[in-house]
Amino acid sequence: MELTIKGISHNGEGVARNAGKVVFIPFAIPGELVKAEIIEEKKKYSRGIIREIVKKSPHRVEPGCPYYYKCGGCSYQHISYDEQLVLKQKIVKETISRIGGIEAKILDTIGMQEPWDYRNKVVWHISNSQDGKRMGFYRYQSKKLIEIDNCPLLLPKVNKISFLIKEILPGIHLEEDSSIMIRQSNNSRETMIEFINCFAGREVVKRLFRKIDTIYEKKNGKIRLLAGQELIKEKAGKSLFLLGPDDFFQVNPEQSEFMINTVAEYLNLSGHNKVLDAYCGAGMFALNIADNVVSVVGIDSNVRAVKNAKKNATLNDIENCQFISGPCEVILSNLQNSFDRVIVNPPRTGVKPEVINAIVNISPEIIVYVSCNPATLARDLKQFVNNSYKVANIQPIDMFPQTSHIESIVLLQKMNYCSVPGNK
């Protein structure tokens, strides 16, 4: 059947309609006319594949990776980068309007000058096959492994270490759901690997340790250092950070700078502010604003992250940051502190309603919400708007070029707050 692609979904699939029913078609671009075959029928939608492109979009380009149409890691490589940024802005705008019922100012997406070779961390899946052990990524919407020799999104050194890992695969014992994490510091250039549900013998570790600074293994959630130093040093903004194998940290150092700067700009700090950093992680935002506030209280349910946030405060000689481990909804209900600024940086699931209620009760002048999921962002913004806050700006940032993922930074202001920093 011939279908006109009218839009794009949150995960990068083209969106068409057939007899009033939504049809999702991977690798299709808005504006294209395609001949498609329906391969999956659901009650509310269908899924198809392209058999022929009848009318091609002017934004269609040749993917930069030979594995693109098989690997499930990317979904935008067939689209010119300028258009990727436009589409991501549209997705944020449409999602905020459709789910949140909010017509907000959505700024142009901040992209990268060179949208390749940017990831400083990767997790490779490992499996056994008839031809031996294989390393790669999963196919789109499946657990079928695609063997990959080189990923153009990774930093060159991370790809080199990946080649090295591939050479020693025969000496690694695999269990169920085996994988290997590789991380490189953009600041110190130190490298780290973690064997997850797979195990390397002494000779393999010894060989790797000649070129890797830190080697860990993880089994049943327990982490053990095999060789090297415990932590590697990274820098984000003006602060240094010590990172372990399972610590969350942004994988795109260049775009992290834009994120930190935008958060600081939207907070509109005067030097007299008291800031709450909810879901603070290792303290990336807290430590970078510490020299321009009275105090920061960071909260995170990840005990390890809070432990490292405290180490990072000491590393940077910062004394006005307090970090507390525990669920935000529990900690906030017991805090007696007053805050006039709040940073919210939750996981993809968004902010729990009770956390939003607790923040609203604090009544800060400004809330800066950092989101990696437009759908949960829209849901949460609706609750803030219903409690006397207005959405002043939404700034999309492309942290993950060539993929469908999009980060958004939102400036929320109390209704009676006058200044509007960050307007462009």
pLDDT at 221 over 90: no
Same domain, 194 and 319: no
Phi-psi region of 223 (alpha: psi -120 to 50; beta: other; left: phi over 0): beta
| pLDDT score of 247 | 84
The per-residue DSSP string of 319-384 comes to -SEEEEES-HHHHHHH-----SEEEE---TT---HHHHHHHHHH--SEEEEEES-HHHHHHHHHHH
To which residue do tokens 């006039």 refer? Answer: 340
Q: Judge contact between 310 and 244, C-beta under 8 A.
A: no
Residue 82 belongs to a domain: no
Closest CA to 392 of 108, 105, 109, 107: 105
The span from the CA of 160 to the CA of 266, in Å, is: 39
Is residue 232 predicted with pLDDT exceeding 90? Answer: yes
In terms of domains, do 157 and 262 share one? no
107, 396 contact by CB (below 8 A): yes
φ, ψ for residue 115 (rounded to 5)? Answer: -85, 40
Residue 69 resides in a domain? no
What's the gap between Cα 3 and its chain centre? Answer: 32
Q: What is the pLDDT of residue 416?
A: 84
Which of 65, 71, 198, 372 is an active site residue?
A: 372
CA dist., res. 288 & res. 332, Å (int): 22
CATH code, domain carrying 25: 2.40.50.140
259 and 359 together in one domain: yes
Count structural domains, the chain.
3
Sign of CA dihedral 380, 384, 387, 393: negative
Cβ–Cβ under 8 Å, residues 21 and 6: no
Q: Which domain holds residue 127?
A: 121-233
In a domain, residue 68? The reply is no
Residues 256, 300, single domain; the answer is yes
Same domain, 279 and 358: yes
Q: If you average pLDDT over residues 263-275, what whole number do you get?
A: 97
Q: What is the mean pLDDT of residues 93-116?
A: 96
414 bridge partner residues: 389
Query: Is residue 204 predicted with pLDDT exceeding 50?
Result: yes
Residues 129 and 198 reside in one and the same domain: yes
Closest CA to 73 of 23, 159, 136: 136
- Assess whether 262 and 385 both reside in one domain: yes
pTM: 0.93
pLDDT tens, position by position, 108-132 = 999 999 999 999 999 999 998 888 8
Q: What is the pLDDT of residues 9-42, one digit of tens each?
A: 999 999 999 988 999 999 999 999 999 999 999 9
Average pLDDT score over residue span 287-292: 97
**Residue 84, in any domain of the structure:** no
Q: Active site includes 280?
A: no
Q: What is the CATH number of the domain that holds 108?
A: 3.40.50.150
Which residue did the predictor score with more confidence, 101 or 244?
101
The string of pLDDT tens digits covering residues 300-359 is 999 988 998 999 999 999 999 999 999 999 999 889 889 999 999 999 999 999 999 999
| C-alpha–C-alpha distance, residues 213 and 192, integer Å | 6
Predicted local confidence at residue 424, as pLDDT? 39
Residue 139 pLDDT level (bands cut at 50, 70, 90) = confident
CATH number at residue 151: 2.40.50.1070
pLDDT for residue 419: 62
Torsions phi, psi for 313 (to 5 deg): -65, -45
Q: Are residues 106 and 138 in the same domain?
A: no
**Residue listed under structure tokens 């919407």:** 141
Query: Is 339 a domain residue?
Result: yes
Question: Looking at the structure, do residues 289 and 358 belong to the same domain, yes or no?
Answer: yes
Residue 78 has pLDDT above 50, yes or no: yes
Q: Please provide the average confidence, as pLDDT, over all residues in the chain.
A: 94
Residues 315 and 374 in one domain: yes
Residue 106 lies in a domain: yes
Query: Has residue 186 got a pLDDT over 70?
Result: yes
Quick check: is 280 in a domain?
Answer: yes
Same domain for 308 and 354? yes
The pLDDT of 378-402, averaged and rounded, is 97
- Is 81 within the bounds of a domain? no
Instruction: Give the CA angle between residues 132, 137, 141 to the nearest 5°.
Output: 120
Question: Are 256 and 376 part of one and the same domain?
Answer: yes
- Looking at the chain, the whole-number percentage of residues with pLDDT higher than 90 is 88
The whole-number pLDDT of residue 236 equals 96
